[in-house]
Amino acid sequence: MSTPQIRVGQGFDIHPFSDDPDRSMTLGGVVFDGPGLVGHSDADVITHAVTDAILGAAGLGDIGSHFPDTDPALAGADSIELLRSAAASVRDAGWEPQNADCSVVLDSPKLAPRRDEMQERLSDALGAPVTVKGKRPEGIGSLGRHEGIACWAVALVARPGA
């Protein structure tokens, strides 16, 4: 029996806060109170970072090559559905997502009260466990000045029996 091939991918996304009071805040597929983030889709930095990580792990490019921000059909798109589509592409390429882990840098909103809900939504879309951790920027740089939110993600994919 051969050892399964495994690959790791890294993802990153960052979005500034919006001045539009009607723009909703979506993180990990969950809508939060507070100002939303600027972006072509729903600007869900967590879901975008996970999507980038799994696409990279499978050698399928990045989120922008699959879901360009110049495509009018993707304006306001639900990023959870984009992750679901990316996960299907990964499987079509012969890889199986194993897990993803995210570190989100922000002061607000607080993620802990809704962490389980985010992890469930992300895990369902990916078809593998996703964990989310919040980290405070401690006043450093643009994130410390509350100008936006950033997320780093890592994902593992495997090709069993290769």
Number of domains in the chain: 1
Q: What is the pTM of this model?
A: 0.94
Tell me which residue has tokens 């992890």.
119
Q: How far does Cα 38 stand from its chain's mean position?
A: 15
pLDDT in tens, 119-140: 999 999 999 999 999 999 988 9
Other beta carbons less than 10 A from residue 159's beta carbon: 14
Other beta carbons less than 10 A from residue 7's beta carbon: 16
pLDDT in tens, 37-84: 999 999 999 999 999 999 999 999 999 999 999 999 999 899 999 999
Indicate the residue type of 141.
Answer: G
CATH number at residue 115: 3.30.1330.50
Q: Which domain holds residue 99?
A: 5-159
In angstroms and rounded to an integer, the radius of gyration of the C-alpha atoms of the chain is 16
**52 to 15, 37, 61, 122: CA distances (angstroms):** 15, 18, 8, 13
